[in-house]
């Protein structure tokens, strides 16, 4: 039985989600505790800034008990005493499958259609599989989620336009300059938003980038990852004039770029246009900068208009995306149902072969070698024919495994245990 418990941006604020975040190096220790406490050993843990979800496969417990046990173990692992079950959601069977397919397709994301989530799901799945934490059911489930994501993104317009502030910031720059690849960019801020800005700049062929941050170590780490130049934060004011575009994405409570800094930079640029983009909350660039000659300032409010327009268009694609997801869920359900037939098919095949073998042993004692060979070939043919007929009837009678009552009768007929 497939199940999941989760917490996301839809059910709880960041301060609660942070408590349940599971880092990659915590997944194996958590799985060991889960197996020890519950005997549930097949899991995939997806943990991002917007959600923590634990997918599991088990047949030992009723789903509701299993979900509570996984939640209880997660609390124990994270050392959380408070009660947060009301902020969690839990799904099983088709509902769990549908939820994963919606997450992978970007339908359930804070930014509809965003691409980052599918990479995060793949990373989570690959890690858990390499650590031998997944069974055949979870492996099939997640591979189908990747297929669903690709289908939705290629057959609908759910990823059209710029639906994040970081991508909208870069798109704004594209509209302001005839050519962006030869422009020099300074990014102030080394957090998650800054990282997304760098990714979008690279996608658009911009590589002459300097990065600065109040914590130098953080700036150097991100600069190394994205192959850009780290700039000591204290050098930022005197180096502003070198850059055609300055993007600020920090959590500072006070402006980091003042009007005086920008004025000095503008004077040294001798009339060359300079663009400032502030995607921080609260604002990290003094608004009077926009009044300077040859200086353009754009804030998060300006970019929100671009994002909101895109989001309206993407929401219009949800119906067509849902139709694709419905088909993929039905396909996975069909596969899951057919798996329940395997013990019965195995038993039918075994019993038919066993009867044939026992009956042939008597004929082998009284007939010539040629006769034995002929009887053996005919018996094999007859056995295979009746085995195929039994299996065909089994699939029809049980609706390919979906009719569990009929399947129970078949299992009793062939003395098949649930094990």
Catalytic positions, please? 49
Distance (Å, rounded) from C-alpha 323 to C-alpha 268?
57
Instruction: Say if residue 349 carries a ligand binding annotation.
Output: no
State the Cα–Cα distance between residues 304 and 327, nearest whole angstrom.
Answer: 34
The set of residues, in sequence order, having a beta carbon less than 8 Å from that of 366 and lying 6+ positions away, is none
Lookup: tokens for 74: 């997660």
49 among annotated binding-site residues: yes
Q: Confirm or deny that 115 is annotated as ligand binding.
A: yes
How far is residue 327 from each of residues 47, 108, 159, 178, 340, measured CA to CA in Å? 27, 17, 20, 44, 21
Length of the chain: 419
Number of DSSP helices (H) and strands (E) in the chain, helices first: 16, 10
Q: Is 50 annotated as a binding residue?
A: yes
Q: How far apart are CA 202 and CA 119, in angstroms?
A: 17
Q: Which of 104, 118, 149, 153 is nearest to 314 (CA)?
A: 153
Is 114 flagged in the annotation as binding? yes
Is 250 annotated to bind ligand?
no
| Token pair in block for residue 305 | 């208009």
**Residue 116 is assigned to a ligand binding site:** yes
290 is in an annotated binding site: no
Residue 3 assigned as binding residue: no
Find out whether 191 is annotated in a ligand binding site.
Answer: yes
48 annotated as ligand-binding: yes
What single string gives the DSSP state of each residue in 225-273?
A: HHT-EE--GGGHHHHGGG-SEEEE----SS-SB-HHHHHHHHHHHTT--
Would you list which residues are annotated within the binding site for NADP(+)? 189-194
Question: Which residues carry a binding-site annotation?
Answer: 48-51, 109, 114-116, 120, 189-194
Q: Residues annotated in the binding site for substrate, as ranges? A: 48-51, 109, 114-116, 120
């Amino acid at each position: 039985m497939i199940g999941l418990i989760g917490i996301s941006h839809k059910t709880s604020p960041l301060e609660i989600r942070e408590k349940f975040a599971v880092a990659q190096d915590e997944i194996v220790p958590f799985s060991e505790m889960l197996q020890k406490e519950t005997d549930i050993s097949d899991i995939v843990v997806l943990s991002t800034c917007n959600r923590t979800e634990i997918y599991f496969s088990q047949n030992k417990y009723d789903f509701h008990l299993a979900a509570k046990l996984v939640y209880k173990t997660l609390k124990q692992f994270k050392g959380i005493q408070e009660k947060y079950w009301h902020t969690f959601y839990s799904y099983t069977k088709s509902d769990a499958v549908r939820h994963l397919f919606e997450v992978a397709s970007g339908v359930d994301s804070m930014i509809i259609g965003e691409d980052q989530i599918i990479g995060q799901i793949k990373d989570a799945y690959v890690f858990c599989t390499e650590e031998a934490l997944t069974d055949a059911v979870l492996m099939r489930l997640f591979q189908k989620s990747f297929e669903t994501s690709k289908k939705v993104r290629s057959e609908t317009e759910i990823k059209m336009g710029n639906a994040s502030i970081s991508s909208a910031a870069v798109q704004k720059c594209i509209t302001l300059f005839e050519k962006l690849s030869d422009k020099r960019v300074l990014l102030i801020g080394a957090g998650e938003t800054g990282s997304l800005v760098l990714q979008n700049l690279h996608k658009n062929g911009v590589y002459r980038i300097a990065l600065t941050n109040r914590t130098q170590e953080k700036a150097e780490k991100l600069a190394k990852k994205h192959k850009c130049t780290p700039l000591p934060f204290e050098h930022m004011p005197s180096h502003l004039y070198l850059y055609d575009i300055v993007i600020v994405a920090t959590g500072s409570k006070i402006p980091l770029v003042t009007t005086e800094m920008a004025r000095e930079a503008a004077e040294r640029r001798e009339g060359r246009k300079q663009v400032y983009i502030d995607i921080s909350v609260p604002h990290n660039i003094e608004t009077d900068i926009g009044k300077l000659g040859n200086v353009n300032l754009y804030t998060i409010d300006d970019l929100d208009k671009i994002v909101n327009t895109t989001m309206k268009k993407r929401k219009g694609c949800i119906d067509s995306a849902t139709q694709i997801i419905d088909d993929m869920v039905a396909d996975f359900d069909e596969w899951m149902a057919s798996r329940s037939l395997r013990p019965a098919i195995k038993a039918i095949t075994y019993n038919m072969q066993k009867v044939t073998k026992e009956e042939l042993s008597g004929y082998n004692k009284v007939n010539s070698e040629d006769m034995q060979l002929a009887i053996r070939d005919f018996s094999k043919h007859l056995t295979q024919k009746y085995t195929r007929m039994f299996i065909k009837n089994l699939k029809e009678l049980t609706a390919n495994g979906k009719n569990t009552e009929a399947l129970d009768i078949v299992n009793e007929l062939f003395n098949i245990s649930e094990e």
